[in-house]
Amino acid sequence: MRIPILYQLEDCPYCKLVKEKLEEKNIEYQNVNVIRSREDKLRKELFEKSGVPTVPVLQIGNKYIGESKDIIKYLEKIP
């Protein structure tokens, strides 16, 4: 499995919750800080792929999961 990528804002409380769950599950991941503007090229791309205009977004392979509660629910299913 490729290392998951967490797209986040540095001071985002929802991103922090996802990071805590990743660390609790001992899942190695890469952080990518995005800028606040939803007009940013990367933010637009994340929206297209995840269907969610906000962060955090977790990329696992070719799968993009947005919304912290959905990411955490997904991570909880991993043994």
pTM of the model: 0.93
Which structural domain, as residue segments, surrounds residue 69?
5-76
DSSP labels, 33-69: E--S-TTSHHHHHHHHHHS-SSS-EEEETTEEEESHH
Query: pLDDT for 4-45, tens place per residue?
Result: 999 999 999 999 999 999 999 999 999 999 999 989 999 999
Residue 41's CATH number: 3.40.30.10
* Number of domains composing the chain: 1
Query: pLDDT for 70-79, tens place per residue?
Result: 999 999 998 8
Residue 69 pLDDT greater than 80, yes or no: yes
